[in-house]
Amino acid sequence: MSVRKSLLIRSSWFILLTLAVLQVFINTQIQTDIASFMPAGRNDEQRQLLEELQQGAAASLWLIAISDDTESSADGISDGNRILRMSQEIAQSLRDSGQFTSVLNGPAASDDKLSEKLFRYRYLLDESINKDSFSVAELRHAFQQQLEELTSPFSSFSKSLLVSDPTSAMQRVTDSLQVSQSRLETVNGIWYSSKEKRALLIANSKQAGSNIDGQENAYKLIQSTFQQSKNSVSLSLLVSGSPLFAVAARDRIRMESRRLSIAGGVFMLVFMFIVFRSGTAVLLTMLPLAGGLLIATALVSLAYGSIHGITLAFGITLLGVAIDYPVHLLMHAKKEKSLQQAAVRIWPVLRLGVITTALGYGAMVWTDFNGLSQLGVFSLTGLIMAALITRTLLPALKKELPSHRTVLESAVLSAKIRTWMRLPGLVLIIFLLASLASLFGLSSLIEHESFMPEEFWSHDIAALSPVPAELVQRDRMLRSSLGVPETTSLIRIEGNNVEDVLRKEEQLKPVLTEAIQNGYLSGTQSAADLLPSVVTQQSRQSLLPDRESLSIRMQDALHGLPFRAESFEPFLDGVNQTNSLKPMTIEDLQGTSAAAVLQSLLSTRKDAALISSSGVIRLTGLTDSKALAKLVDEADISQVAFINLRSSTNELMLEFRREMLSRIAWVAAVIMLVLIVGLRDIRRSLAVIGPVILAVLCAAMVPLWLGESLNIFHLVSLLLVTGLGLDYALFINSIHHQQDEAEIVTTSLVICSISSFVVFAMLALSRIPVLHAIGVTVASGVVAAFVFSWLFAATKELEIIKQ
């Protein structure tokens, strides 16, 4: 290579990498919310699910408990007071922080403004109003009831309401609002469980649930607020809620990934140094991977505006194959004495390997699964760049390598491996076993796929959750004691406007009542509980008598009862005023405590010229979601859906898997075609694709043998196994009966497979399900790919010898 050409190559790579560095460090945002990794959503339910995951009220709800750990109950009251004071202080400072939309540490204070509104609209809000409500008989019954009520010890207080509301409409209105409220013990208006000596708070973060950084800040704020106002050592803080799960999961993955990548990185550096005995060589082995990563990150962030954290993590995993390229180059350079010559020599094999692997990775690019297509673009770019760097930049940087012989390079070892592989008996046994295992695997794969997918494939996303079980337990405990609605399921209603949504919610009411009566639901919270639709209010209004006729009926009803008719003027006035009221709307409740509640239950969206509204019905104490789903389904109200977040998420995963599998089938066919064209030999192509397929099957079987179900992370790992397998098989097949060539290839493949195996075995030891899944699959895939590649190569040799 001429000096000028090498300078040109170096400077153009330098410029490209500098640009990539600039883009990565100045202009790249890493996204962390899982929702943006998900597909755009095929059906309505998935879209709603994503919206709910991102913006749902439950996703940003923090549950907080302050408890006293002291054993001494002798001074129980003063302990309690300490906690109560603490609860007040924390609630106040959290409110003052401006980070929360609401902070509750007790039942919402009785809101006089709201009571006043409800009282004025009582005859429009009372669900029991029907055409007989103001008949003589009903009125008489009501008056008799009231007479009994007067024997109460509290008649001094209740009598003023009696004369304005003898039919107790107001009581029914407030009762129906309280149904959904928790039945938590309160002391001085603060939620406090005296048995557990624990005060409880609920705080709703301003940040969307999907904004994990925002939620983490909220978490830190809660903790620091507690530390600041902590007035006794014996008090402790317990925090839970969906946002905590998100934060905890991310932190755990982040910590473990960091630990593992440091360990893996150190191992690679040391291992490569042992092999090559040269710092420069070690740097050269790292350069393609690093350069590929940089350029891929820069490109994805340019194309998509940002890069997702999951893309980055999986992408780095998939690019693991790129570490093999410089190893091949450097090993060959020892023989050729020049990197440039070595590059020219290995390029045809390497190129075929890169193209076929790229096809495998590229399967992910054209999908509406946003994160998956990002991952495809990322790994594709990284792979090609790493190969190009190996081909052009490395020879331009370093002319030749000093040659050292290491343990791994000994001719004895490579000869031994090749001899082992050539033992016909061993070959036959291993081959038979492997084929049997693969056949078994294949058949059970097909069988399970169609008949018992549950056992074989895990699409329960909870099984993948890195959140410690103890946290989940704590959440369940706090949630049940606070009576906070479920986070996993809800009913969602879409409509043209608020009125439309409210009407649908009203239609749904009998269904929910049935579910409550059947015992698998304990309560609901919906906007229609607070605010009946205009139509409903108007129909109630039409049933109200005018003042005159009501007065006459009341006289009749009072006949023989000790009540003085004149006392009930306020009742006549009240009904009469309701006759001319405009139905209550959301606007009428502005400034009351109900406004905030309604806001969380109803939303109106403007897309271009289209305005639509949606509402959610929150569910508490749901024990049988299938039964409720069936009931809601049978009610057959348009645009009303029961959403189980868990099963919907699982469905997403299922779809992801299906998509991957169907693509893999196509891609396998294309790869085979490319191989045939590249190698110009069907027999050799089969010798390459055969071990790859077997390795992939083996890698898929190992987790199953370990009793794990396959999930999408195993699938992504299988892509890497495909890449590695192609690399091994192609290089082994490139041997043409020259002893030194065989030695070099053997050694470089041993180095490659040892390094990949160790790094992924480390991952396999991780307790985090995702990392473990990737580790187990790839580590076993590496071993399988190595062994099968040799076996196929050996059988080929045997055939040649026989001939």
Partner 1 sequence: MISGSVINRLLLTGLLFICFTVQIARAGELESLMQLMASVQHRIVHYKEEKQMELLEIPLSSEGTLEYIAPNTLVRSVHRPSRVRYVINSRQVIIEKGEKSRTLNLDDLPLVRAFVESFRAMLAGDLTSLQAYYDIMFSGDRNQWQITLYPTDKNLAAYVEKLQLSGTGDSIRLYIIEDSNGDLTRMTLYPGEAVVGE
Q: Which residues bind partner 1 (CB under 8 A)?
A: 107, 110, 147-148, 150-157, 159, 162-163, 186-189, 562-564, 567-568
- Closest approach, Cβ 162 to partner 1, in A, equals 7
- Closest approach, Cβ 172 to partner 1, in A, equals 12
- Closest approach, Cβ 370 to partner 1, in A, equals 50
- Closest approach, Cβ 81 to partner 1, in A, equals 16
Q: Which residues pair with 618 in a beta bridge?
A: 490, 525
Q: How far apart are CA 683 and CA 797, in angstroms?
A: 12
- Closest approach, Cβ 153 to partner 1, in A, equals 6
Contact 36, 375 (CB under 8 A): no
Q: How far apart are CA 203 and CA 99, in angstroms?
A: 10
Angle, alpha carbons 785-790-795 (nearest 5°): 130
Q: How far apart are CA 61 and CA 58, in angstroms?
A: 5
- Closest approach, Cβ 146 to partner 1, in A, equals 10
Greatest Cα-to-Cα distance within the chain, rounded to the nearest angstrom: 121
- DSSP, collapsed to helix, strand or coil, labels residue 451 as coil
Nearer Cβ to partner 1, position 229 or 522?
522
Contact 467, 249 (CB under 8 A): yes
- Closest approach, Cβ 157 to partner 1, in A, equals 6
The dihedral over CA atoms of 664, 668, 671, 676, expressed in degrees to the nearest 10, equals: -170
Nearer Cβ to partner 1, position 439 or 561?
561
H/E run at residue 257: helix 242-276
Nearest CA-CA partner of 242 in 93, 57, 470: 57
Neighbours of 220 (CB within 10 A): 11
Contact 768, 256 (CB under 8 A): yes
Characterize the bridge pairing of strands 100-104 and 235-240.
unpaired
Q: How far apart are CA 584 and CA 532, in angstroms?
A: 8
- Closest approach, Cβ 148 to partner 1, in A, equals 5
Nearer Cβ to partner 1, position 158 or 435?
158
Token representation of residue 7? 């300078």
Nearer Cβ to partner 1, position 147 or 682?
147
Nearer Cβ to partner 1, position 187 or 290?
187
Nearer Cβ to partner 1, position 179 or 255?
179
504-533: b or e for each residue (b if 16 or more CB lie within 10 Å)?
bbbbbeebbeebeeeebbebbbbbbbbbbb
Nearer Cβ to partner 1, position 562 or 707?
562
Nearer Cβ to partner 1, position 185 or 506?
185
- Closest approach, Cβ 558 to partner 1, in A, equals 10
- DSSP, collapsed to helix, strand or coil, labels residue 120 as helix
- Closest approach, Cβ 190 to partner 1, in A, equals 9
Nearer Cβ to partner 1, position 92 or 186?
186
- Closest approach, Cβ 84 to partner 1, in A, equals 12
Nearer Cβ to partner 1, position 163 or 596?
163
Token representation of residue 301? 């962030």
H-helix segments, 680-736: 682-705, 712-733
Token representation of residue 77? 């009251």
Nearer Cβ to partner 1, position 115 or 604?
115
Angle, alpha carbons 90-94-95 (nearest 5°): 115
Nearer Cβ to partner 1, position 187 or 283?
187
Q: How far apart are CA 704 and CA 711, in angstroms?
A: 11
- Closest approach, Cβ 561 to partner 1, in A, equals 9
DSSP secondary-structure letter at 226? H
HSE-CB of 79 using CA atoms within 13 angstroms: 21
- Closest approach, Cβ 569 to partner 1, in A, equals 11
In order, the DSSP letters of 354-380 are HHHHHHHHHTTTSSSBHHHHHHHHHHH
Contact 372, 364 (CB under 8 A): yes
Nearer Cβ to partner 1, position 81 or 739?
81
Token representation of residue 391? 């081909």
Angle, alpha carbons 221-226-232 (nearest 5°): 165
- Closest approach, Cβ 179 to partner 1, in A, equals 13
- Closest approach, Cβ 564 to partner 1, in A, equals 5
- Closest approach, Cβ 189 to partner 1, in A, equals 5
- Closest approach, Cβ 184 to partner 1, in A, equals 11
Long-range contacts at 758-764 (CB < 8 A, ≥ 24 apart): 758/264, 758/267, 758/271, 759/264, 759/267, 759/268, 759/320, 760/320, 762/260, 762/263, 762/264, 762/267, 763/260, 763/264
Nearer Cβ to partner 1, position 104 or 758?
104
Nearer Cβ to partner 1, position 78 or 542?
78
Contact 23, 301 (CB under 8 A): yes
Nearer Cβ to partner 1, position 528 or 557?
557
Nearer Cβ to partner 1, position 85 or 252?
85
Q: Which residues pair with 30 in a beta bridge?
A: 307
